[in-house]
Amino acid sequence: MKIQITKIQEPDLEFGSQVHQPFVKDALLTGCGPFESSFYNGVKRINLGVVSLRAETEEILDWVESLHDSLVFNETNAFRFREFLGAEKTLRCKFLVNDRHVKEIDEGKYRETQARYGRERFDALLTLYSDQIQSLFADSGPDCILVQFPEEVASLRVANSRLTVSERSFLERVQEEDDAWQYELFEMTPDQKKLASELLPQADELLYRNFHRALKARCMNMHNSVPIQVIRRHTYVPDETSQSQSTIAWNIGLGLYYKAGNIPWRLHQISTDTCFVGISFHYLKRRAGDMVYASVAQAFSSSGEGFALKGSTIPKDQTRNKQPYLRPSQAEELMGDVLKHYQSKNGNLPSRVVIHKTSRYQPEEQEGIKSGLMDNVPSHEMIWLVPSGFRLLRRGMDPPDRGTLCTVEDKESFLFTTGYVPRWNEYPGPHIPSPLELGTSEPENLVETAKDILALTKMNWNSSEAVGRHPITLSFARRVGMIMTELDEDAQPNPLYRYYM
């Protein structure tokens, strides 16, 4: 058997002062500042709001103040886990909470909602929280809102009452079939099963309403809305967390910086005229009574934040090999919308479009995509990434490096977006790494394609590690699709990624 292995180096990111570095903490600890800091002088003020139970407010405010202190880590790996030097030195910003931006949830009303059951409790809590959050959506409001969840709220979900008995039975059967297929293919642990399911439509997202998701969906399209950041006691109470205060500060600090409208880092050595697009599918219930698939596209360039678009709805029987697909007119319309919005945001059309999809392209999709792009874009590429049962072992105790590209018999290619990270001397995962199977319409550019995908796995601004499993094109589209289960069928999802993190 012929196996060709190519090692792709960890891609560089661009930070402030034109510093290029593959690892976020290594770069920011040099004092270069985030990428956005190149466009302002001194320390940027970021105004935060707080919505919490009254008993939690003081601890939350103390914790926000602690983000300006130097915080040491207590994890064992000093290469991966680093000290946090405070928001002003590390992120060139200061987090401020004005008294008028603190909204406390009435304890009596909260206890009253907790005494209810099922959907009535869910809806009452949703109104209680969203009313307080909406009261901060004003011209002089905060840049981002911290929303405190007690544990019973964080884990709250209810059955979706909009589904008929037959629709619920259909979704439950689909979920069981997917579970059986994944176990048969992978022989996975529950954690591995979760990873494998992240690229596939999940019936569970429509079977149940999740409180966190419902709250974000309700708030993101309100007038003057700003993003929210959910926190729990293990975020701001040191004795109740398994992570060090330094690690929490890195992750939450970067997330707040980005949600307040700032770009922490951007891609390096990828043309700003390239538009990366992710397409995914999700279950959706329509008011008319039928259940369909919804298509979602997310477009992204190396120059900054991308945008999300809702595509066509697709009958649930428009599938092939159990996967939904787009008809030519649907694919053409979606590409046309992407180009229109890209030009509106960037002032010009892209010179290259790269489309990522979570299943193999059907002939109808290829026809529609080409038709939607050919007269406007000089170059395009269609790439599919799917979960894989492929495994690669090497001598010694360490798994394959992240960035390993393995081609078997010049036919099948597998990219390890998870794996051993030499800079950390560690594999940051609980089980044997499983790669993504990679296919492309331009097979001669496979290595360059893999480089782009690996770079796009580093664009989750909600994490300071920047070694994600999936490219931002697909992980963003998936988050949008999950939120869409809570929106009216005619509603367009908020296009900005910061609202979904």
Count the domains in the chain. Answer: 2
Integer-rounded Cα radius of gyration of the chain: 23
Tell me how long the chain is.
501
Query: What local confidence, expressed as pLDDT, does residue 120 receive?
Result: 95
56 is a domain residue: yes
CA distance linking residue 371 with residue 431, whole number of Å = 43
CA distance linking residue 177 with residue 454, whole number of Å = 31
62 is a domain residue: yes
Are 46 and 176 in a shared domain? no
H or E stretch covering 380? strand 379-387
CA distance linking residue 191 with residue 296, whole number of Å = 26
Are 216 and 99 in a shared domain? yes
Are 46 and 188 in a shared domain? no
Are 116 and 50 in a shared domain? yes
Tokens of 169: 């039975």
- The band of 98, judged by pLDDT with boundaries at 50, 70 and 90, is very high
Q: What is the mean pLDDT of residues 51-77?
A: 95
Give yes or no for a contact between 479 and 467, defined as CB atoms under 8 angstroms apart. Answer: no
Query: What local confidence, expressed as pLDDT, does residue 184 receive?
Result: 47
* CATH code of the domain containing 248: 3.40.50.2300
305 is a domain residue: no
Are 179 and 144 in a shared domain? no
Query: What local confidence, expressed as pLDDT, does residue 200 receive?
Result: 56
Are 173 and 61 in a shared domain? no
CA distance linking residue 262 with residue 116, whole number of Å = 41
Are 85 and 178 in a shared domain? no
Are 195 and 226 in a shared domain? no
The torsion angles phi and psi of 272, rounded to 5 degrees, stand at -75, -10
Are 83 and 223 in a shared domain? yes
Are 39 and 107 in a shared domain? yes
Q: In this model, does residue 197 exceed pLDDT 60?
A: no
Residues 390-429: tens digit of each pLDDT: 888 777 778 899 999 999 988 899 999 999 999 999 998 8
Q: What is the mean pLDDT of residues 259-270?
A: 92
427 is a domain residue: no
Are 148 and 213 in a shared domain? yes
Question: Containing domain of residue 127, as a range?
Answer: 21-156+209-259
* pTM of the predicted structure, to 2 decimals: 0.91
Residues 289-338: tens digit of each pLDDT: 566 777 888 888 876 678 888 888 888 889 998 888 999 999 999 999 99
Give yes or no for a contact between 10 and 23, defined as CB atoms under 8 angstroms apart. Answer: yes
* Largest distance between two CA atoms of the chain: 69
Candidates 299, 314, 296; CA nearest to 480 is 296
Provide the mean pLDDT of the chain.
88
460 is a domain residue: no
141 is a domain residue: yes
